[in-house]
Amino acid sequence: MDLIGSIKKRTNDLTHSHLIYYVFPVLLIAILYYSVFSSPSAYIGEWHDIISNSLQYTQFETNLFSQWNNLWSGGFPTTASPGSDKYYILTFPFYLVFHDLTIVNIVILLHILIAYFAFFKLGSLVCKNYDLLTIFSLIFAFSGMILARIDTGHHLILYGLVWIPLLFYFFLKIMVFDRPTILNVIGLSVVSMLVYFTGNIYHFVFAYLIILVFFLYYVVQGKVSRKILVFLFLSVLLTTLLAAIKAVPDLIVSNSLVRIDPINPFEGGGSIGTDLAAFIFGTATSPRFSVEETCILIGVLPLLLMILAWVYGKREIAIPSFFAMLFAMIWSDGGNNLLSFIHLFPIVSGFRVPGRIFGALLPIVLLMALYGAWIVFNKLKSGESFLLSQDQRRSVRIGVGLVALVFFCELPYFSLPSSESIISVILIGAFILLLYLQKATIKNLLYFFIFALALNLLILVMLNAATITDDVIKLLIIGGLLFAFFFITRRKYQKNPRCHAFYCLLVLGIFVMMAGSISFVNTYTPPFDNSPAIDVISAINKSGSENPQVWVYENGWAFQHMDFTYWDVMNGLHPASLYLPYYLDTAIPVAIGIGNVTYYTSDYLVDTAYLENGNENLPEVTFKVNNISVFKPDHVLPNAFVVRNEQLIPATIEKFTPDEVTLSGQFRTGDVAGLKTSYYPGWMMNGQDTSNSGNLVSVRIPSETSSVTFRYDPLDVKFGALLSGIGLLLVIVIIMKRRNIELYLDKTGRTPVQDSERKKKKR
C-alpha cells in the first residue's frame, strides 16, 4: 500500500504542480503553427526539400520492405543514400499509417516537443529548478536553430538535432556525474543510433567531435578511470553494431556518390564576431550561405549566463565546455583561420557550411547558460558577492587570451565586420570587463542584463520589422502566455526581490528570442493542384508506351519543377531527373548506343526548361501541351532487355516490381541481359552477380534459358542487418547481466590519479 500511495502522490505532483511545465511548449506550438491545421495541403517549412526527402514513402503502401525504389532516380537504392531516414522509427510509421505526405507536419511538431523534453533532461544534470529548466528548454526548442531549419525544409536535419541533448546527457552522466552504469551506456548508444538513422550525418559527427573535446580534457586531467573507458568503448561498440544496417551501406557507397554541387569545406567561414551575432541576432555567419543554414538565435542573455558559468562554475564542466566553444568557433571560421586545416581530416572533408557545427554545440551552450542562471539565483538568495578570486581572474585572463589567439589566426583573412558583429563583440567584451574589474555587483549585473536585452530586442525588431508587423498578434499572445507563466510561477521568488527581477528577465529573454525567431515561422502550399504537369502527364498517359513503367526526363532544374516530380511519382511514372543532394556516379545517360541504334533511356522528354527561359530546348518535338514541348523518341530502351550481337532481341517483361524483375524469351548462351537502372552492387540475375555496362546493370547469360530474373539482394545490407541483430542481442544480454558487469568494473576501475595515490600509500 505504501508503494501505491507513493505512486499516487508522484502522479498528483506531476499532474498538478508540474503540469504547466509540460503544457507550455504545446501552447506555443499551437500559436505558432495553428494555420497549418486549417490548410490540408500546406507544409510547415519550404516544401521542395521536404517533398524531395519524403516522396520515397509513397511506395510504402505496397512495398514496405523494398530496398530498390523503381520510381526513384534511376533506381537509386534507398539503402545507399546516407541522407535517408529509411530506418528512423519516428518518420516512416507515420507515412505507413496515414498514406499522406502532409503527415510530415505532425512529425515536425512532434520533434519540437522532443527538443523541449530532451533539453529538459539534459538540464536536470545541473539544476532541479523546474522554472529554470522550462525557460532554457523553451529557448532550445524555439531557437532560431530549430525554427530556421523547419522553415527552410531541412526536416531531416531537425530530426537529428533534437536528440543531441540526450547524447550529451548520457555522456556527461557517465563521464562527469559519476554514473557509469550499463543503462546509461545503452541510452548513449540508442540515442546515437537514432541521430544516425535520421540521416543527419553532419550533426552526428559534430556532436561526437564536441564529446571528443570533453573526453580529451578529462584524459589530460587523469580523470578517466578504466571503468569509464570500458563503458565508453562498450557504447561505441553497441552504437556501431546497432547502426550497422545503415552504416555499412553508407560506408560502401561513399566512394560512389556525386554531390549535386561541388563541396569546398573551407567555403562559407565566418569569424568570432559573426559567430556571436548568429547566437544573439540570428544573422548568418557567412554571406555565402542563407541565414537558415547557420542561424542560432537564442538571444544575448544565455551567452552572458554561459560566461558566468565558465567563471563561477565547477571546473570539470566549465573548462571543457569553454574549449568546446573555442573549437566550434575555429571550425566555423572555415577557410578564414590559420587553423582551418582541421577541415581536411577524413570524413569531415566532405562537409559544407562550417557554421553548422553550432547546431551540435547549442545544447552545451544552453546547459552552461542554465548552470549560470542557477549560480546567479543562489548568489542572489544568499547575498553572496560576484567578486572574482585570484584564480578566477587568472582563468578570465587565460580564456580571453585563447580567444584573442583565435582572433589573431583570423587576421590574415580579416574583412569589414557587420554592425551586428561589432555590437555582439562589444556586448560580450563589456560584460567580461565588468566581471574582471570587480564591478559586477548585483545591481550592476541586473542593469547590464536589462540593457543587453533591450538592445537585443531593438535590433531584432529592426532586422525583422516586416515579419514582426505581420505576426504582431502572435507575438502579443506569446507575450501574454509568458506573462501568465511568470505570474503563476513567481510566488516562490517574491521573498527576494532581486531573484524576482532576475526571473522576470529570464522570461523576457524568451520573448526577445521569439521576436526574432518568429520570422522563421511560415507555412508553404505547393502549387500541385495548378501544376502544368497535370496536363502534360495526362497527354503522356494517352500516348502510352510499350514499357510497363514509363520514364520521363524533364530538362529543367528539378528544384524549380518539383511539382513535375511529384505528379510523375503519383502517376507511376519514373522521373529520370530529380532534385537530390547526392547521385550515384553510375547515373544513367539520356541516351545509349546499341549497335547502330541510339536508344533513349526515357520514354518522353519534357521541356520544363521552357518555363524558365521561354525558349524551345528540345532537338525534336512530338507534341505540345500548353506550350510545353514533349518529345517521344522512336527508339526507347526497355525497362529490362536482352542484347545479342549488338541488337535487342524479343523479350517480355513478366514481372516488374521493386527488388525483382523477370524477363521471358528464347535466350542463348552469351546473350547479355540488362536492367535499366543505375548500376549498384547487389543485383543478381538467376543467382549470378551482375556487372556495370554503360552504368546499367548487365550480365552475360551462362546457358540457354527461357527466363531470367533480376533480384536486388545487396550483401552490404544483409551484413549490416546481421551486425545490427548481434548488437540487439548484445544489448539484451548486457541488460540481463548488468549488475554483475557493474560490480566487476567497480572493483577494477580506477583513474590514473587514483592509481598514483594508491601506489604512494603502499610506499
The answer to whether residue 756 scores a pLDDT higher than 80 is: no
| Final residue belonging to a domain, choices 497, 521, 545 | 521
> 336 and 429 in one domain?
yes
pLDDT of residue 80: 77
Q: Which of 335, 356, 357 is nearest to 210 (CA)?
A: 357
The tens digit of pLDDT for each residue in 590-601 reads 999 999 999 999
- The H-or-E segment that residue 527 falls in is none
Q: What average pLDDT score do residues 104-118 get?
A: 97
> 699 and 564 in one domain?
no
| Final residue belonging to a domain, choices 574, 604, 631 | 631
> 401 and 306 in one domain?
yes
Q: Which residue, chain included where needed, has cell 531557437?
A: 143
pLDDT of residue 546: 87
pLDDT of residue 5: 52
> 609 and 670 in one domain?
no
Determine the 3-state secondary structure of 251 from DSSP: helix
pLDDT of residue 15: 43
> 272 and 333 in one domain?
yes
DSSP states of 427-475: HHHHHHHHHHTT---HHHHHHHHHHHHHHHHHHHHHHTHHHHHHTHHHH
Sequence-distant (≥ 6) Cβ neighbours of residue 606 within 8 angstroms: 536, 552, 553, 554, 555, 564, 628, 629, 630
Q: Within a domain: residue 385?
A: yes
Q: What average pLDDT score do residues 44-59 get?
A: 87
Q: What average pLDDT score do residues 351-364 get?
A: 96
**Full domain range(s) for residue 611:** 533-631
The answer to whether residue 257 scores a pLDDT higher than 90 is: no
Strands (E), 453-517: none
The most confident of 374-383, 438-447, 450-459, 496-505, by mean pLDDT:
450-459
The answer to whether residue 1 scores a pLDDT higher than 80 is: no
Neighbours of 473 (CB within 10 A): 9
* Mean of pLDDT over the chain: 90
Quick one: what percent of the chain has pLDDT higher than 70?
A: 93
pLDDT of residue 258: 85
What pTM was computed for the model?
Answer: 0.92
pLDDT of residue 402: 97
Give the pLDDT band of residue 517 (cuts 50, 70, 90).
very high
Alpha carbon of 678 to those of 82, 282, 568, 575, 664: distances in Å? 17, 42, 19, 13, 22
Q: Which three cell numbers stand for residue 71?
A: 520510381
Cα radius of gyration rounded to whole Å, the chain: 29
pLDDT of residue 62: 62
Neighbours of 739 (CB within 10 A): 9
pLDDT of residue 12: 46
Q: Which of 24, 101, 143, 59 is nearest to 521 (CA)?
A: 143
The answer to whether residue 494 scores a pLDDT higher than 70 is: no
Q: Which of 199, 319, 213 is nearest to 581 (CA)?
A: 199
CA dist., res. 213 & res. 155, Å (int)? 28
The answer to whether residue 204 scores a pLDDT higher than 50 is: yes
Q: Which three cell numbers stand for residue 172?
A: 556527461
CA dist., res. 80 & res. 17, Å (int)? 49
Q: Which residue, chain included where needed, has cell 603502499?
A: 762
Give the pLDDT band of residue 16 (cuts 50, 70, 90).
very low
> 565 and 665 in one domain?
no
> 509 and 434 in one domain?
yes
Q: 43-57, 74-88, 131-145, 257-271 — which is least confidently predicted? A: 74-88
| Final residue belonging to a domain, choices 606, 631, 656 | 631
What are φ and ψ of residue 409, in 5° steps? Answer: -70, -15
More confident residue, 328 or 95: 328
Q: Which of 332, 327, 208 is nearest to 278 (CA)?
A: 332
> 439 and 403 in one domain?
yes
> 556 and 511 in one domain?
no
> 674 and 575 in one domain?
no
Q: What is the DSSP-derived secondary structure letter of residue 684?
A: E
> 586 and 454 in one domain?
no
CA dist., res. 121 & res. 135, Å (int)? 13
What are φ and ψ of residue 11, in 5° steps? Answer: -65, -45
How many domains would you assign to the chain?
Answer: 3
CA dist., res. 694 & res. 671, Å (int)? 16
Quick one: what percent of the chain has pLDDT higher than 90?
A: 70
> 474 and 414 in one domain?
yes
Q: What average pLDDT score do residues 678-702 get?
A: 92
Q: What is the DSSP-derived secondary structure letter of residue 328?
A: H
Sign of CA dihedral 457, 459, 464, 465: positive
The most confident of 219-233, 416-430, 570-584, by mean pLDDT:
416-430
